[in-house]
Amino acid sequence: MADLQFVGSYCQGYPEKFDEVLDSVTLAVVCSFNRSGALLAVGCNDGRLVIWDIITRNIVRALSAHVRPITSISWSRYGDYLLVGSADWSALLISMPTL
């Protein structure tokens, strides 16, 4: 049997299974949880970025971030910034406190 204390330090810190579907207006292409798992950033096919509050299942913010599909999303270490890349060859750095 594996040492759970050792294995636990390498486990992912976000939910592993779906318990509900979050409805969106457009096709989701990529998503990323923040470090605490409370927020989910979803990049869409139409360039829209949608940020969901996982606890309340509500949209915190929806932005038209790009003109082409969003291809990558990365949260900063402390969740205060969000870097969003797109197929339009641009990246957008978003300060989360301004949302």
Q: What is the DSSP letter of 9?
A: T
Range of the domain at 50: 28-95
Average pLDDT over residues 41-64: 91
pLDDT-derived band at 10, boundaries 50, 70, 90: low
pTM: 0.76
Residue 42 confidence (pLDDT): 94
Q: Is residue 65 part of a domain?
A: yes
Q: Are 47 and 67 in contact (CB under 8 A)?
A: yes
pLDDT-derived band at 15, boundaries 50, 70, 90: low
3-class DSSP string for 26-87: CCEEEEEECCCCCEEEEEECCCEEEEEECCCCEEEEEEECCCCCEEEEEECCCCCEEEEEEC
Residue 36 confidence (pLDDT): 87
Average pLDDT over residues 27-54: 92
Q: State the total domains in the chain.
A: 1
Domain holding 51: CATH number? 2.40.10
Q: What is the pLDDT of residues 56-77, one digit of tens each?
A: 989 999 899 889 999 999 999 9
Q: ∠ at Cα 58 (82, 17), nearest 5°?
A: 80
pLDDT-derived band at 19, boundaries 50, 70, 90: low
